[in-house]
Amino acid sequence: MLLRILPALSFALIVGAVPNPQQAKPGGQPKCRFSPCYTQAQILNDPNPFISDVLYWEGRFHQNNVSYNSYNGMSYDGTLLDESTGLATAKHPFSAASKEALQIMLYAHAMVGSPQAARFLSPDNTGAAPDMAMNIMALKLKTYLRFNETYPGFGGFLPWFTGDSMDIQPTWDWVNRVPALDNGELIWAVYSAIQAMETSSNRKYQNLARQWQAWLDYIKLTAAKVFYAGNGVVCAVTDIGDQSFPINDPRQTYKCEGSGTLNDPYEGELFTWWLYFFGGLSRKDKDVLWKVKRPQLVSVEYKMGGVGPITVQKGFWFSAHEQWKVMEIPYYDVDLVKRLFTNAERARTCNSVVTKVPGMFASVNNSTDPTTGQIIGYISNAGIPSIANQTVQEVDVITPYSVFPVVLIDNAVGMVWWKNMADGKKMQNPYGSSESTRVDGTAMSSFVSWDSKITTVNAILGGVSDLVRQKMKTDSIYNEFISVTQREYGAVFKNLKGENIGLCLPSKKVPDRGLVDYTQCQ
Ligand SMILES: *[C@@H]1O[C@H](CO)[C@@H](O)[C@H](O)[C@H]1NC(C)=O
Ligand SMILES: *[C@@H]1O[C@H](CO)[C@@H](O)[C@H](O)[C@H]1NC(C)=O
Ligand SMILES: *[C@@H]1O[C@H](CO)[C@@H](O)[C@H](O)[C@H]1NC(C)=O
Ligand SMILES: *[C@@H]1O[C@H](CO)[C@@H](O)[C@H](O)[C@H]1NC(C)=O
Ligand SMILES: *[C@@H]1O[C@H](CO)[C@@H](O)[C@H](O)[C@H]1NC(C)=O
């Protein structure tokens, strides 16, 4: 079979340097259904006009009562869309620390004056974007602090919460419970935002940085108490004795829920780093944190349909979601990690070509039932079975956000894959891209969420690792971050195979099986 292979890395360097005459004027409104108007070749030649349109329309998700609450600054999980018009119907009034992380990373970029973040947040008045972000960050902190006053048992961390009144509450199923993974994502997002604010020349930003720093300093004190069970065991979910008792109340208790421990070498590692650097653990406990994680960091070779071998880090499912950690901390400063994660995207893109799939896989919400408008279920087990720990997978639904790790490496190739999925019927709506589509084009998900959309936007913005690196240096933890990462990855990955293989480009389209585009996105 014929693979369309591109020497992607050198290519990206070249296009990055070329000025771009046909870029849309800032503030101009592109057509809602813009994706099919571009060709692959146009995006590869210069991804910036396409990216400008993506940012504009993904930014329509950032509206009060759609993706966040402008009264308290908190994110909403997402919203269902009308099957015919594509307009928001029933929002999910709840959210979690992971969505907060995506929102805060975006604001970090806006506060340092990123034109791309401004295009997303405030395309009609890009100059207003930094203050807009800063004001929401101020409201959000007030909400976090009121939550901490009412529910001091969380130690400042967030459970899944409902956010549609001024004060947030744990959702009914998260009363007295708190997850580590999502909070790890939140912590480093806040860390980046503080860096953005404290380096501003504006007093207001500097003051807000100090207030957020107090929150961060507080969760340094509580992290081990809430999540660390000793002997390297970090609770995946902690059961809290009583969320309304203060953390040091003699009646208060913390214990891991069931046998679930946070020891994954994927996004859960963000929380491990926090404990490692700031949890106040002994040298012995710090070392054992990595020791218990070691068996999960595994090398595996991708080989299929004439592609490979490509050495990659074995995935849990190999869902794109698992790569989240590189968006937040400067892992790519370790050359071995950058090369290994580039290999992962060689495998991800080429796998979809050899298996003739028009997009890529990541854990995602399933299609909506067109008669009820409700989501059928959540597909966790979506990735690449041959290079995953979990080999039983459902690989019939693809999602635009599966491109975000590709975008971090080569934004042109990433956007070409995004286009290929967005071109599917109904895959664009008045809030940007839709959640997911079946590979066979028979159904899709009339839903929009932070995870399925704003991961890609944050990857377009380059993630926040540049900001995090600076603050890690100020905090004198950067060198140790590099040496531990080098030590752990270097012990498992010696010589990488497949580095000469290019990223692959999509060759199949999502079939038109009669779904009709939304009337409000033409
Ligand atoms: C907010 O959105 C919901 C649907 O999610 C809608 O029912 C409600 O009227 C909206 N509220 C306001 C104030 O617009
Ligand atoms: C959170 O609440 C506790 C207990 O009331 C308090 O001691 C702590 O200072 C609060 N944290 C922050 C960041 O205000
Ligand atoms: C799927 O739905 C859940 C629950 O509503 C939401 O938190 C998540 O962001 C959605 N999308 C993805 C890609 O997980
Ligand atoms: C996803 O939806 C399809 C029908 O469109 C169904 O066959 C499949 O079992 C669903 N999977 C999950 C995990 O909900
Ligand atoms: C999956 O991971 C667990 C825990 O590390 C390990 O015991 C198991 O052998 C792994 N299975 C595969 C198929 O990689």
pLDDT digit string (tens) for the chain, length 522 residues: 333 333 333 333 333 333 343 444 554 799 999 999 999 999 999 999 999 999 999 999 999 999 999 999 999 999 999 999 999 999 999 999 999 999 999 999 999 999 999 999 999 999 999 999 999 999 999 999 999 999 999 999 999 999 999 999 999 999 999 999 999 999 999 999 999 999 999 999 999 999 999 999 999 999 999 999 999 999 999 999 999 999 999 999 999 999 999 999 999 999 999 999 999 999 999 999 999 999 999 999 999 999 999 999 999 999 999 999 999 999 999 999 999 999 999 999 999 999 999 999 999 999 999 999 999 999 999 999 999 999 999 999 999 999 999 999 999 999 999 999 999 999 999 999 999 999 999 999 999 999 999 999 999 999 999 999 999 999 999 999 999 999 999 999 999 999 999 999 999 999 999 999 999 999
pTM of the model as a whole: 0.95
Contact in structure between 255 and 226 (CB atoms under 8 Å) = no
Whole-number Å distance, alpha carbon 136 to ligand 1 midpoint, is: 20
**Pocket of ligand 5 contains residue 389 by CB under 6 Å:** yes
Give CA–CA dist 71/65, Å, rounded.
10
Whole-number Å distance, alpha carbon 65 to ligand 1 midpoint, is: 6
**Pocket of ligand 1 contains residue 92 by CB under 6 Å:** no
Whole-number Å distance, alpha carbon 377 to ligand 4 midpoint, is: 7
Beta strands in 194-327 (DSSP E): 228-230, 233-234, 237-240, 254-256, 299-304, 307-313
- Report helix, strand or coil for 466: helix
Give CA–CA dist 118/27, Å, rounded.
10
**Pocket of ligand 1 contains residue 166 by CB under 6 Å:** no
Ligand index nearest the alpha carbon of residue 364: 3
Query: In this structure, which residue's CA is closest to atom 3 in ligand 2?
Result: 152
Ligand index nearest the alpha carbon of residue 366: 4
Query: In this structure, which residue's CA is closest to atom 5 in ligand 3?
Result: 77
Whole-number Å distance, alpha carbon 449 to ligand 1 midpoint, is: 17
Whole-number Å distance, alpha carbon 389 to ligand 5 midpoint, is: 6
Whole-number Å distance, alpha carbon 368 to ligand 4 midpoint, is: 10
Whole-number Å distance, alpha carbon 163 to ligand 1 midpoint, is: 13
Give CA–CA dist 150/169, Å, rounded.
9
Contact in structure between 95 and 174 (CB atoms under 8 Å) = no
Longest dimension (CA), the chain: 67
For residue 204, which amino acid is it?
A: K
**Pocket of ligand 1 contains residue 65 by CB under 6 Å:** yes
Query: In this structure, which residue's CA is closest to atom 8 in ligand 5?
Result: 389
Report the residue among 365, 434, 447 best suited for mutation to probe ligand 3: largest number of ligand atoms under 8 A from its CB: 365
Helix (H) or strand (E) holding 13: helix 8-17
- How many angstroms separate the Cα of 173 from the Cα of each of 68, 161, 377, 508? 21, 9, 18, 41
- How many angstroms separate the Cα of 109 from the Cα of each of 116, 195, 211, 331, 368? 8, 10, 19, 19, 33
**Pocket of ligand 1 contains residue 90 by CB under 6 Å:** yes
Residue 302: count of CB within 10 angstroms of its CB: 25
- Ligand 2: atom nearest CA of 156 is 1
Closest CA to 154 of 242, 270, 275: 242
List ligand 4's pocket residues with C-beta within 6 A.
366-367, 376-377, 379, 394, 443
